[in-house]
Amino acid sequence: MSRHPSATRHPYAWALAGVLLGAGAVLAAQKSIGPGDHAIAASASAPVPGPKQAGAAHERFIAPLDRQADTGEVSIASTQLPFRTDTFRIAWLPATTPATRSSRSFAPPPARPLAYHWSVEGIGNPEEFYADLHGHAPPAPGYREASYRRGGGLQDSGSFTTPFDGIHGWLFKNDSAGAATVTLQVAGFYEPVTAAELAQIERQIETLATP
């Protein structure tokens, strides 16, 4: 104890000495680096950027502050229908008469999206299979229908937003004389239309077309 009397009289002396030694080391390092190294030394002491300053990889996960509240700029269409997914398989046996048709239709509310995918097995020539994605307004005076996408092919994937109230779906046609199977997957907010309901709608459409 007699060899280091200052340690008992000044309990913070060692801490102060450490700070001074550290400051001296920093000054010595700054004297030894060249002009081009000062920028590196300065950037090393810069504050660490927050998540929003970290680059595009992080910014895409952060909504701007003025978009985090309900600003009314994003249109949200609510519905009471449950979200559902359905898979349909439509098979054609080898036919002596080609051009066998089959339809699948759905009744979503207007302005609702439907996602879909369909593919065909058993046909190698895309020109031997036909698909028509279309919609029908409810049969009434002023009735209208529209085709959204039609043509030959062996598969199609996408989504669309129903432009009006009514039924929307696909008409598939097998133009080959052999067997074929189409698998249709649909996801969204809708009610499937049965074959009996579709037949009744088609009869109503024919009645409207009769002069």
Locate the domains of the chain by residue range.
5-67, 84-209
The CATH number of domain 84-209 is 2.40.50.140? no
Asked whether the CA dihedral 59, 62, 65, 71 is positive or negative, the reply is positive
Residue with tokens 């009006």: 164
pLDDT tens by residue, 70-82: 666 677 778 888 8
| pLDDT, greater one: 148 or 35 | 148
Highest mean predicted confidence (pLDDT) among 52-66, 67-81, 123-137: 123-137
Ramachandran region, residue 57 (left: φ > 0; alpha: ψ -120 to 50; beta: rest): alpha
The per-residue pLDDT for 66 is: 61
Asked whether the CA dihedral 196, 89, 137, 211 is positive or negative, the reply is negative
* pLDDT at residue 45 tops 50: no
The per-residue pLDDT for 134 is: 93
The per-residue pLDDT for 9 is: 45
At 142, the pLDDT band (50, 70, 90 cuts) reads confident
At 131, the pLDDT band (50, 70, 90 cuts) reads very high
* pLDDT at residue 98 tops 60: no
The Cα-based distances of 171 to 97, 127, 159, 176 in angstroms read 18, 15, 17, 16
The per-residue pLDDT for 178 is: 86
- Candidates 187, 178, 167; CA nearest to 129 is 178
The span from the first CA to the last CA of the chain, in angstroms, equals: 120
The per-residue pLDDT for 59 is: 53
Q: Which two tokens stand for residue 77?
A: 């269409």
Of 55-59, 193-197, 202-206, the range with the lowest mean pLDDT is 55-59
The per-residue pLDDT for 28 is: 43
Separation between Cα atoms, residue 136 and residue 106, nearest integer Å: 10
Q: Identify the burial level of 57 via C-beta atoms within 10 angstroms of its C-beta, where 0-12 means exposed, 13-18 middle and 19 or more buried.
A: exposed
Highest mean predicted confidence (pLDDT) among 76-80, 92-96, 141-145, 163-167: 163-167
The per-residue pLDDT for 37 is: 40
The per-residue pLDDT for 211 is: 63
The per-residue pLDDT for 119 is: 97
Of 28-37, 96-105, 171-180, the range with the lowest mean pLDDT is 28-37
Strand partners, 3: none
Alpha-carbon Rg for the chain, nearest whole angstrom, is: 36
Report the pLDDT averaged over residues 116-142: 91
Ramachandran region, residue 151 (left: φ > 0; alpha: ψ -120 to 50; beta: rest): left
Is the separation of the CB atoms in 156 and 117 below 8 Å?
Answer: yes
* pLDDT at residue 23 tops 50: no
